[in-house]
Amino acid sequence: MPNLSLFLAQLFNGLALGTLLALISTGLTIILGTLGVLNFAHGALFMVGAYVGYTVMQATHSFVLAVACGALFVLVLGVVIERGLIRLYYERPPEDQILMTFGLSIVIVETVRLIFTGISQRMAVPDWGSGIFNLGFMIYPKYRLIVMIIVVVTLLVLYLVLYRTRLGLVVRAGIEDQRIVGMLGLNVQRTFMVVFGLGAMAAGYAGVIDAPIVSVTPDMGQTVLVESFVVVVIGGLGSFPGAILGGVIAGEIISLTSMFNPAYSQVMLYFVMALVLVLRPQGLFGQEGRE
Amino acid sequence: MSLFSRRGLSLLRGGWRIEFAVAVSLLLAPYILPWIGFNADTMARIMIWGLFGLGFDLLFGYTGLLSFGQAAFFGVGGFVSAYLLVNGLVPNVFAALLIGTLLAAVYGALIGLLALRRVGIYFAMITLAFGEMSFFLENSPLSAFTGGENGLPGVPTPVLHLGFATIALKSGQWNMYGFMAVLFLIGFVIARRIVKSPFGAVLLAIRENTSRARACGHSVQKYKLTIFIVAAAYGGFAGGLLGILQAYMPPDAFTLQTSGQLVMQTVIGGSGTLIGPLVGATIWLYLREVLQHIPDIGALWKLILGAVFVILVTVFRRGICGEILRWGQRREALATNSPGATEVDPPRARSRSPREPATPEASRGSATDDAPVILETRGLSKHFGGVHAVTEVNFSVRSGEVRALIGPNGAGKSTFFKMLTGEHIPTAGEIYFRGDQITAQGPTAVSQLGMSKSYQINQLFASLTVRQNLTIPVLARQRGPFRLDMLRRLDRWGAVNRKVEEIMQLMGLAERADQPTSVLAYGEKRRLEIGLALAMEPEVLLLDEPLAGMSPSERADTIALLQELRIGRTLVVVEHDMDAVFELAEHITVFYEGEKLAEGTPEDIKGNSQVQDAYLGGMDEDELA
């Protein structure tokens, strides 16, 4: 039987994983909510962020620069993708958008594989992050603890952007009713571009700060993509609080289940998702009647 | 007439034409494709992917359900068959395949029940997540049976006892290809029968316009679940064959890559063509197997494939086979249309027939006053949040009556209609049809009971032909909300086809029979819209603004049509065209701001000062602003 300190440790691990998932899923969910596009390339953008961060870190040994470059690169990539491709798909059925972004993710992953080969890379932990920290109930790598704080702060910033700015107002209005936003004469085109860029940036940014913890491979985005789908289903389409709660729930499920039997941790995640679908198909914070 | 008989002839001649062409291609392929680098093993693999793709194409190409979790069924079928064979539990290869296929179908039913609760984006996400769940189940908790990451080696290859000969199949040899090709052909023939069956027609309707298919009286969910199970069974069967082909069942059968490969192959080859997935698999495996051995380009095969895929989806969404078919159809259409171009008279709504009642007014009023009430609402209300769209409406219509609902825009007429048909669930109140409660039973049940609606905004099955459109409600009428007639030939079902012809004649659409709705003129689309409701042979026909947007001649034709439709039927019409309303209706109900303002004969309503005020906007001065 697991003891209390192990339980607390796993609870904490779950929170660390959960906040990161929340950040990635926030990007996915605001794109989905505002543009109505399910971005299958979201995991690939996460991976691109990690690779840019890794490259910059190798060259400059500056973590701050790595994060800034990773996030900005993916932001620009997101804007290019939106202007070049996604834009052509707003009037098309959601299935077409899924197909295109799915194909796009393959193009991105294979391009990265071509440049960096498929061998997994390790990004160095920044100096201030190396070492461990005693939390009382457990000893925790310092970097992971700091990452958690960074992610929470970022989520707070995102909250302020979404709930305290004009852009955030338009985004949230778009999630409520896309047509009305268009009718009000707001510049939907520009909003879409900015939202897609921001959503992509969230993924890229998460990719960079996650890179020192995991191994960087061209396929690293796939698990992230599927897990963030689960988060969005649990939390509810287009919902920012839903993405956060869903992220934490998903993180805790994976973490706590692996305490009992690691073999079931992923299975359990999808099982809970099925449960949500049966009991509350619109997700915890989703609205009734949206598809 | 000549056109009709020519069509019949070509159908007879062409009944098995496609199947024959596919069989010949499969037979010739081993003599041609090796010249460009294919070997027997690759081609046998293509057959497996083709079979897998047949099920997926039925699901996605024909029904419009994009699943990213088909690997789950491929894996279940594969591992169950392999497990049974490796452990000697079932000695017969075909028995093992059958059990694997059945279990994959059962698994499909379980996942389908959950995933089909949602549509579109959500459906894709959910199937993907269940696919991943299956992968993790195989990978660790069930690894005692599946071998986990190692898979299951030692799957025996079948020995065929054909009576006259015994063939020991061997991987990498042409007899293995032959075996797979025969199985593919069988799968293809079955899939084509499904597509050409009444069941298949309903699948297309669901893809084109799910809510209209439901309103036509089909139990959409049952069709979706059934085809999901069929797709799972195809997947399971193909998975079982993979183990046999390789003498080894690999765990990557369960991965997202497998599901993704299937989706991409189907779209590249052309979804909704059945043969598309096979063509897509040929291209995919060719690039992988052949390109890989060319230095400098080898590593690029997947990048090339991804880029080609993005371009195809963006520009040629129909895929290779789909675009070829379309090109062929266009040529055919051009060839047949050129004499038709000289046609001077635009098709009109029905020819004036002698059985038209000379004076419809003569029968007005007297016939229906003592007829039984067929449709009634009591205290019917619908609120959307704080908006009270309809408030406590008591309403009753007698059998055979023509009733008009009028009122300014936003008065709640359309919402009221949607509650009658079951599209909206009322906030409060009840609806009775022929004395039975039908409140919140849903559009399928209401339509089957005998009440259907033509929509204010056309709800057609857009890329189907006029004939196919009208077949959908006729099928619902003839075979009820659901029937598993997957192998029945729709083109040989005389009763259905005669009924469709009859409605096309009545609606003046016979000359447009085999054209897609997209080429119809507005007035024709409008008549088709009414025809869809009428084809259910409803006792009560609800018409939501049937005259909206019509030209004067189209309007006159439609009014004449409605005069004909009223015979033996109850009509409830929402309409803004007051002249038409006063010409048609025996009674008029006036809605204003969600409430029933007035009711009576046209004469009563004409003289009602409240109604005049409502229309002139003088009712509540302050509410005007």
Please give the model's pTM, rounded to 2 decimal places.
Answer: 0.90
Q: Are B350 and B507 in contact, with CB atoms under 8 Å apart?
A: yes
* CA distance readout (Å), A79 to A82, A84, A85, A194, A203: 5, 8, 10, 7, 13
| B305 contacts in chain A (CB < 8 Å) | 106
Residue A279 at interface with chain B, using a CB cutoff of 8 Å: no
Contact B121 A94 (CB under 8 A): yes
- Pick B314's closest partner by Cβ from A98, A100, A102: A100
> Alpha helices of B341-449 — where are they, by DSSP H?
413-421, 443-449
Q: Nearest-CA distance from A129 to chain B in Å? A: 33
Q: Closest residue of B to A223, CA-based? A: B132
Polymer length in residues for chain B: 625
In angstroms, how far is the first alpha carbon of chain B from the final one? 60
CB within 8 Å of A18: residues ≥ 6 apart: A247, A248, A249, A250, A251, A252
Identify the pLDDT of residue B613: 79
Kindly give the parts of chain B with pLDDT less than 50.
Answer: 1-12, 339-366, 618-619, 621-625
Q: Please list the helix, strand and coil fractions of chain B in percent, rounded to the nearest 5, in that order.
A: 60, 10, 30
**CB contact at 8 A, B445 and B438:** yes
Q: What is the pLDDT of residue A81?
A: 96
Alpha-carbon gap: A100 to the closest alpha carbon of chain B (Å) = 5
Rounded-to-integer distance, Cα A4 and Cα B429, Å:
56
Residues of chain A with pLDDT under 70: 1-2, 178-179, 181-186, 287-291
Residue of A nearest to B65 (CA): A95
Q: Scan for tokens 């959409």, then name that residue.
A: B220
Q: CA nearest A291 in B: which residue?
A: B119
State the pLDDT at residue B96: 95
CB contact under 8 A, A107 and B310: yes
Residue A10's pLDDT is: 87
Contact across the interface for B317 and A96, Cβ inside 8 Å: yes
Q: Which of B60, B120, B128 sits opposite A226 (nearest CB)?
A: B128
Instruction: Give the Cα separation of B154 and B162 in Å (integer).
Output: 24
Q: Which of residues 197-256 of A touch B (CB under 8 A)?
A: 222, 226, 229-230, 232-233, 237
Q: Whose CA is closest to B49, among B279, B373, B287?
A: B279
pLDDT digits (tens, 9 = 90+) for B336-347: 655 444 344 444
Distance in Å from the first CA to the final CA of chain A: 43
Q: Which residue of B has its CA nearest to A276?
A: B114
Interface of A with B in 27-46 (CB under 8 A): 32, 38
* DSSP label of B361: G
Tokens matching residue B28? 């010739």
B407: which residues sit within 8 A by CB, 6+ positions away?
B413, B590, B591, B592, B597, B614
**What are the backbone dihedrals phi and psi of residue B428, each rounded to the nearest 5 degrees, phi first?**
-155, 160
Query: How near does any CA of chain A get to the CA of B319, in Å?
Result: 12
Least CB-CB distance to B313: which of A99, A226, A281? A99
Shortest alpha-carbon distance between residue A64 and chain B (Å)? 32
Contact: B124, A264; criterion CB under 8 Å: no
User: Are the Cβ atoms of A107 and B307 closer than 8 angstroms?
Assistant: yes
Extract the tokens encoding B592.
């204003």
User: Position of tokens 């609120």?
Assistant: B383
The predicted pLDDT at position B345 comes to 44
Judge: B121–A262 Cβ closer than 8 Å, yes or no. no
Strand-pair category, B436-437 with B451-454: unpaired
Q: Is A111 exposed, middle or buried (0-12, 13-18, 19+ CB in 10 A)?
A: middle
- Structure tokens of B531? 């025809």
**What is the DSSP-derived secondary structure letter of residue B368?**
T
Encode chain A in three state secondary structure.
Answer: CCCHHHHHHHHHHHHHHHHHHHHHHHHHHHHHHHHCCCCCCHHHHHHHHHHHHHHHHHHHCCHHHHHHHHHHHHHHHHHHHHHHCHHHHCCCCHHHHHHHHHHHHHHHHHHHHHHHCCCCECCCCCHHHCCEEECCCCEEEHHHHHHHHHHHHHHHHHHHHHHHCHHHHHHHHHHHCHHHHHHCCCCHHHHHHHHHHHHHHHHHHHHHHHCCCCCECCCHHHHHHHHHHHHHHHHCCCCHHHHHHHHHHHHHHHHHHHHHCHHHHHHHHHHHHHHHHHHCCCCCCCCCCCC
Q: Considering CB atoms only, which of A38, A95, A111 is closest to B125?
A: A38
Give the pairing type, strands B248-249 and B451-454: unpaired
Which of B119, B143, B310 lies closest to A103 in CB terms? B310
Angstrom distance (rounded) from CA A176 to CA A167:
14
| Min Cα–Cα distance to chain B from A266, Å | 7
Q: Answer whether B77's CB lies under 8 Å from B103's CB.
A: yes
Interface probe with B: pick from A109, A225, A226, most Cβ of B within 10 Å: A226
Q: Strands B540-544, B451-454: parallel, antiparallel or unpaired by DSSP?
A: parallel
**Chain A neighbors of B127, CB-CB under 8 A:** none
* Shortest alpha-carbon distance between residue A286 and chain B (Å): 12
* A 139-158 residues with CB < 8 A to B: none
For residue A258, list chain B residues with Cβ-Cβ distance below 8 A: none
Residue B147 φ/ψ region, left for φ over 0, alpha for ψ in the -120 to 50 degree band, beta for the rest: left
Distance from CA of B117 to the nearest CA of A (A): 8
Which part of chain B has CATH 3.40.50.300? 364-442+570-625
Q: Is A270 on the interface with B (CB under 8 A)?
A: yes
Residue B206 confidence (pLDDT): 97
With beta carbons less than 8 A apart as the criterion, state whether B90 and B243 touch: no
Asked if B292 and B114 count as a contact pair (C-beta separation under 8 A), the reply is no
Give Rg (Cα) of chain A: 19
Q: What count of other Cβ atoms lies within 10 Å of the Cβ of residue B553?
A: 12
Dihedral sign for Cα B605, B606, B607, B610, please: positive
- Domain map of chain A by residue range? 20-221
Q: Any idea what DSSP says for residue B156? A: P
pLDDT attached to residue B505: 92
* Four-point Cα dihedral B169, B174, B175, B180, nearest 10: 90
* Residue in this structure with the two tokens 């890559």, named with its chain if needed: B257
**Alpha carbons B115 and B123: distance in angstroms, whole number:** 6
How far apart (Å, rounded) are the C-alpha atoms in residues A66 and A208? 7
* Cα gap B166→B159, rounded to integer Å: 7
Per the CB < 8 Å rule, is B309 touching A98?
no
- Contact call for residues A284 and A242 (beta carbons, < 8 A): yes
Predicted local distance difference test score (pLDDT) of residue B63: 96
How far off is chain A from B46, nearest CA to CA, in Å?
Answer: 21
Which pLDDT value is given to residue A99?
Answer: 95
How many CB atoms neighbour CB A192 within 10 A? 23
A118 touches chain B (CB under 8 A): no
Q: Which amino acid is at B145?
A: F
Which CATH number applies to B364-442+570-625: 3.30.43.10, 3.40.50.970, 3.40.50.300, 3.40.50.10580? 3.40.50.300
CA torsion B158→B161→B167→B169, rounded to 10°?
A: -10
Structure tokens at B11: 């159908």
CA distance A273 to B226: 23
Cβ-proximal residues to B280 (8 Å cutoff; 6+ apart), any chain = B53, B264, B265, B266, B267, B268, B269, B270, B319, B320
